[in-house]
Structure 1
Amino acid sequence: MHGYCTIWLCILLPLHSLAQLSVDTSYNEESLVREVFFQANASLSHISFKGSYRALGLFEVNNEDFPLKKGIILSSGDAKSAGGPNQNPATSSVHRTAGDSYLDKLSGGTTYDASVLEFSFVPEQNTIAFEYIFASEEYPEFVGKGFHDVFAFVLTDLGSHRSYNLALVPETQLPVHVDHINSKRHNEWYIANAYRKSGQWYDLLEYDGLTQVLTAQAAVVPGRKYRIRLAIADVHDPMLDSSVLLKEKSFRSFNTPSTEIVTNSESTLVTPHTILFDWDSSELSPDAEEKLRQFADDVLLNAAKAIWVVGHTDSWGSDTYNEQLARRRVQTVVNYLARLGLKGKVRLYRRSKGENEPVANNADAFGRSQNRRVVVSAEF
């Protein structure tokens, strides 16, 4: 019997290992950013990394169901500890490296073992985006207890020197961490992964919880230089690891549709209609109502599959107030489209981005007038 058990173990162990997430920390930051993370359509320069090189690596997953197959892992602990099975509810690696002042302010506490990956780029098109997953050992025990590890994707316009954190809970201005995405709050973005074999990715990941795939996105000015900081750290103490998984080749530059009709093999997207608003107002002007009537006619005539309504503000006012104002503007547009006959006839998606994606300079009155807007578009 002992001989048979040995044979079966030799067969099963390789199969089990294939189900794990594996990490290689031998890559440097240059090769990870240029060869793993980056797509074309933007020039790239000044790549740097601060932190322990045990916290930065290339991850790969041999599992058809897991949404990210390969990419960069950036951790507050040892990146190699990310691989499953999840047999420890409190995996911790202490590097004894410095924290990060921006993450101190964002978290409201002292940070430790910060890992910061930075690079500069010049986009050729008007939007940048990338996909990621956040995972942490602080789930679920430390939700709401002030020990949430913190991370941020800080985009800085090197012309205006304005900075924006792109790591936000969808349709909010809340930074992503264990207190904002968990089993009770914004739980549509949460995946439990308890260490007692009850987690969805128990065999794959060590972490006790993780987010769904999230998208970081921002409007940019083609030809202008930007810098982005991808940073993660422990908060209040250096214990309990967290990581961000950045999808391979997902950092990209692309154009928001700007022609009358944009067609690909699957769908047609109508030109976004921009509805402008007066300062501190969510009321529609006569011109805005006319634009929405034209938009609704197109949607009904051509049997649209879905429509999007995305609200924005200028930079005056607090982040919280501007988020609320953007939501009111979106609701005003949605209500008007409903009165025009769209209610119940087409899927509707809404987002409120506050002041985070300006299309013009907020330093002057004209620029602010262009940023006080709702953008509507439709897929056919």
Structure 2
Amino acid sequence: MKRLFKYCASMVVFCAFCIGAANAQTVIDTSRTADFMVKKVLLGNGVLVGDVKYTGEKHAISIYEDSTSQVGISKGILLTSGNAYYAVGPNKTPRSGWASFAPGDEELEAIARGKTWDASVLEFDFVTISENLSFRYVFASEEYLEYVGSKFNDVFGFFVSGPNMTKTNIARLPDGVTPITVNTVNSGLNSEFYIDNAYYNTTDPYIWDVRNRKVILNKKYLQEEVPPKYDTQFDGFTTVLTAHYKVIPNQVYHIKLAIADVGDDILDSGVFLEAGSFQSSGEIVVELAEHFKRNDFAQKVQSKKTEIIPEYELKEIKIPKKTLLGQIEFEFDKYSITSEARSAIVSMFNEWKAAKNAKLELIGHTDDWGSHVYNEELSENRSKAVAQILLDLGVPKNLMVINFHGETLPIGNNDTEHGRARNRRVEFFLVN
């Protein structure tokens, strides 16, 4: 019965894609190479990548753009277990998907404890200038909520391997332990990380009960239709999450980003990887060796100028030379600056003055208490509060860069008061 619904739903979703494209809210572009997507969309500051490889169906991976940020991400890479076009809303069916009849992935099967199908795997080597690697993502699925608790436990993973470490899956909840699947993040379990977007049938008197595998009366028949809140086909998705890992700067690591259907190859799931978020920062800043040939990709694309799409203008990978001057810390849930912190700011201002014409970069951070959105705003306010003092001291506005990362780049253990205090900080970088 689940397979029968798939074919019926396909026609509905294909029409939904046409509507989404006409509204110009969501853009799905499957024409670009994986190399392009990683180097020119996903990559952020402080990281170089090489040897990009994609295994899977071409229609399962795409560049994704949505100016309204329905899932919390406005641009990035979409990696799916079916067809990327099926991510486009509105949601007009509770069951949609594309079966490619492609093989699964053994490492994902170990997480889901079930047979996988239609795996899409994006992998590449990378080196960083600092000790912290991070990137932001959202997991979404059409298996929600009907198949929660069943064997159809669609799964994804971010597997990092490198020097002096065993391969590690960093696609986990903030507890650092729980992998993210349909069965581990939903309306009943870890619900603070789940957003529902379910479609409810109000037009058919009888519907299929997927839990009990039988036809039942539709209790919502002829009720007023309430359309799903978010303009995406997926019936549910996570909040924006951050993957992070401690690495050794200037050492080559490998990451494998993979997603697959579990139990069958029908309903789709996807993981959205935020553009520019694959980045590195921290207290350690090193000079990078020439690990990868940086110009090979640019030359390859320039030789095929007719293929370049204006929206994705090529840019040089720039890794600024930064020196950490120091940092100041803040009291819990505050961005006011103490007299002790003001003295430290004056000292760092004098160091900047001696450097002559260098830029000052301010990066605000928080501990992990509170929501992601709240902490991001708090870290921004901390950076702005420091910037105002520096402006008053005489630093020109055009020589100051304000950044903020919320709770995503801790340097201390958030399970202890001392660690949380270290994370409530603004870092000062001298940028040459």
TM-score by length of 2: 0.58
- Cα distance in 2 between the residues matched to 1:350 and 1:27: 33
Q: Tell me which of 211, 217, 237 is aligned to 1:210.
A: 237
Q: Tell me which of 184, 188, 205 is aligned to 1:184.
A: 188
Does residue 1:244 correspond to 2:271, yes or no?
yes
- Cα distance in 1 between the residues matched to 2:365 and 2:128: 29
8 Å CA contact 2:157, 2:169 repeated in 1? yes
8 Å CA contact 2:130, 2:284 repeated in 1? no
Query: Letter of the aligned partner of 1:82 in structure 2?
Result: A
Does residue 1:200 correspond to 2:229, yes or no?
yes
Alpha-carbon offset, residue 379 of structure 1: 3.4
Change (3 A) 1:300 1:209: farther
Alpha-carbon offset, residue 252 of structure 1: 0.4
Alpha-carbon offset, residue 38 of structure 1: 0.5
- Cα distance in 2 between the residues matched to 1:79 and 1:217: 26
Q: 1:167 matched to which residue of 2?
A: 171
Alpha-carbon offset, residue 147 of structure 1: 1.2
- Cα distance in 1 between the residues matched to 2:19 and 2:54: 34
8 Å CA contact 1:169, 1:181 repeated in 2? no
8 Å CA contact 2:70, 2:232 repeated in 1? no
Alpha-carbon offset, residue 63 of structure 1: 1.3
- Cα distance in 2 between the residues matched to 1:172 and 1:195: 32
Q: Secondary structure at the match of 1:375?
A: helix
Alpha-carbon offset, residue 36 of structure 1: 0.5
Q: Tell me which of 79, 100, 105 is aligned to 2:105.
A: 100
Alpha-carbon offset, residue 199 of structure 1: 2.6
8 Å CA contact 1:20, 1:83 repeated in 2? no
- Cα distance in 1 between the residues matched to 2:81 and 2:92: 19
Q: Tell me which of 13, 17, 36 is aligned to 2:41.
A: 36
8 Å CA contact 2:20, 2:89 repeated in 1? no
Q: Tell me which of 281, 291, 302 is aligned to 1:254.
A: 281
Q: 1:90 matched to which residue of 2?
A: 95
Query: Letter of the aligned partner of 1:116 in structure 2?
Result: V
Change (3 A) 1:134 1:117: same
Does residue 1:57 correspond to 2:62, yes or no?
yes
- Cα distance in 1 between the residues matched to 2:165 and 2:412: 13
Q: Secondary structure at the match of 1:43?
A: strand
- Cα distance in 2 between the residues matched to 1:261 and 1:15: 48
Give deviations 1:295-319, integer Å, cap 9, x for gaps.
xxx999769x997389xxxxxxxxx
Matches within 5 A, 1:229-378: 229-256=256-283, 261-262=326-327, 268-269=328-329, 308=367, 375-376=419-420, 377=422, 378=424
Alpha-carbon offset, residue 194 of structure 1: 1.0
Select between 39-48 and 107-116 the one with higher mean Cα deviation.
Answer: 39-48
Alpha-carbon offset, residue 62 of structure 1: 2.6
Query: Letter of the aligned partner of 1:250 in structure 2?
Result: S
Structural RMSD (CA): 3.3
Ranges in structure 1 where 5+ consecutive residues have no aligned partner: 1-12, 263-267, 271-297, 311-348, 360-372
Alpha-carbon offset, residue 163 of structure 1: 1.4
8 Å CA contact 1:219, 1:358 repeated in 2? no
- Cα distance in 2 between the residues matched to 1:234 and 1:252: 29
TM-score by length of 1: 0.66
Change (3 A) 1:374 1:176: farther
Alpha-carbon offset, residue 95 of structure 1: 0.8
Alpha-carbon offset, residue 107 of structure 1: 1.0
Select between 128-137 and 59-68 the one with higher mean Cα deviation.
Answer: 59-68
Select between 33-42 and 117-126 the one with higher mean Cα deviation.
Answer: 33-42
- Cα distance in 2 between the residues matched to 1:143 and 1:104: 17
Q: 1:127 matched to which residue of 2?
A: 132
Give deviations 1:15-67, integer Å, cap 9, x for gaps.
98436433111111010000000123222111000010110111111316652
Query: Letter of the aligned partner of 1:147 in structure 2?
Result: F
Does residue 1:67 correspond to 2:94, yes or no?
no
Alpha-carbon offset, residue 374 of structure 1: 7.5
Ranges in structure 2 where 5+ consecutive residues have no aligned partner: 1-17, 201-225, 286-323, 331-336, 343-363, 370-405, 427-432
Q: How many residues align?
A: 278
Give deviations 1:228-264, integer Å, cap 9, x for gaps.
00000011111110000111111001114896842xx
